[in-house]
Amino acid sequence: MGCLISQLAAKFAFFPPAPATYQVKKRDDGKLVAVSSQSSMPIAVDDASFDVLSITTKRRNKIIAFYLRNPYARLTVLYSHGNAADLGQLYDLFVQLKANLRVNLIGYDYSGYGASTGKPSESDTYADIEAVYECLETEYGISQEDLILYGQSVGSGPTLHLAAQLPRLRGVVLHSAILSGIRVLCQVKYTLCCDIYKNVNKIRKVKCPVLVIHGTDDDVVNWLHGNGLWKLAREPYEPLWIKGGGHCNLELYPDYIRHLSRFVQEMENMTTETRLRKIRETLCLQKRSKFSSSKCCNIKLKRPKCPECYYPNCFKCCRWPKCPECRPELPVMFQTWLHEVFVSVQLMLV
């Protein structure tokens, strides 16, 4: 039953443009070229900084990705788009982001979108983004320390899925993101087993700064989703709530590119030393919390069971805490009893 509901939720989650807005063709030299479906002209003409990639996922689908280089870039953005667009519609946006943010940018089409093979599903989107990240590592030498993950709407699902697995990631951007699939349709307090894209659980595992961007008038994914994710983030960055912004028009507001540029710039200036210090602070807090809940502190004082043992630090009889900081003061009755025993022993020895 749960799988059936999950499949129904997936049908409401994915709306790939039909027909696709672009096609992929291979030139005589073997290089892939993206061609507009309307004009039959290449999307980018003789652009050496633009690569069209065909990547095979672990679920044996071949997905298409666009990689845009910026010669001045220090960071790379991995962009996961929404549920009703493909790369042909997003190319112009990618060019603007590459130039304004001074980053390399890679965007990809999910399985079943654009010229990618297969059918879209939650599991496939996870396999898709993992394959793109592996391509960045092997083909372009980009590590997670120099990577920012960007997820828009449904794209927040695969984005947080990958971010939860990369502890040294530079940053995450959540654009009109969702708490979970079912929470878009109805308000529920608990995560159901049949739910998809359980971002509400995965956001807690992300160990890097998280920027949340959301429109206050979003009628598709309510602003409460973005606010909820921002509150749950372990390292939340100053959010951007665009007043009057909807679900698909936030890029048109000047504050969007201004705030996003500031976030990317701060991520660039974040040195390795700063990030290591934050990691150490987190580890120290975890160690302290573990020490405070140790068994020694939870052991309660017990009266010795055997009369021949008069030592309160006897583990066999009293289970007395070993660390001095954790030892509670002796109860009054026990102090009186111990004094009487001590006096009796002295009288016996006289």
The three-state (H, E, C) secondary structure of 88-139, written as one string: HHHHHHHHHHHHHHCCEEEEECCCCCCCCCCCCCHHHHHHHHHHHHHHHHHH
Same domain, 166 and 248: yes
Same domain, 204 and 339: no
Asked which of 30-34, 193-197, 210-214 is least confident by mean pLDDT, the reply is 193-197
Q: Smallest Cα–Cα separation from 34: which of 86, 103, 104?
A: 86
- Does residue 184 or residue 86 have the better pLDDT? 86
The predicted structure's pLDDT at residue 333: 59
Interior CA angle at 124 toward 120 and 129, to 5°? 115
- Does residue 233 or residue 340 have the better pLDDT? 233
Same domain, 208 and 102: yes
pLDDT tens readout for residues 55-113: 999 999 999 999 999 999 999 999 999 999 999 999 999 999 999 999 999 999 999 99
Residue 221 maps to a domain:
yes
Same domain, 120 and 256: yes
The predicted structure's pLDDT at residue 165: 97
- Which residues are CB-contacts of 272 (< 8 A; sequence separation ≥ 6)? 145
Mean pLDDT estimate for the chain: 85
Same domain, 40 and 142: yes
The predicted structure's pLDDT at residue 164: 97
Residues marked active site are found at 153, 218, 247
pLDDT tens readout for residues 159-170: 999 999 999 999
Interior CA angle at 133 toward 153 and 102, to 5°? 75
The predicted structure's pLDDT at residue 6: 58
Same domain, 215 and 310: no
CATH code, 228:
3.40.50.1820
The predicted structure's pLDDT at residue 189: 79
Residue 100 maps to a domain:
yes
Same domain, 219 and 319: no
Q: Do 171 and 126 touch, CB atoms closer than 8 A?
A: no
- Does residue 286 or residue 227 have the better pLDDT? 227
Same domain, 30 and 148: yes
| Structure-block tokens of residue 322 | 């070993």
| Structure-block tokens of residue 171 | 């940053």
The predicted structure's pLDDT at residue 302: 46
Predicted confidence band at 344 (pLDDT cuts at 50, 70, 90)? low
Residue 150 maps to a domain:
yes
Same domain, 261 and 338: no
Same domain, 258 and 312: no
Average confidence (pLDDT) over 244-258: 97
pTM equals 0.78
Q: How far is CA 209 from CA 33, 147, 172, 223, 233, in A?
A: 36, 12, 6, 20, 8
Residue 279 maps to a domain:
no
Domain boundary among 236, 269, 302: 269
CA distance 23 to 32: 10
Amino acid letter, residue 276: L
Same domain, 226 and 305: no
CA distance 246 to 255: 14
Residue 67 belongs to domain spanning:
2-269
Predicted confidence band at 2 (pLDDT cuts at 50, 70, 90)? very low
Number of domains making up the chain: 2
Same domain, 99 and 144: yes
8-state DSSP, 52: E
Residue 37 maps to a domain:
yes
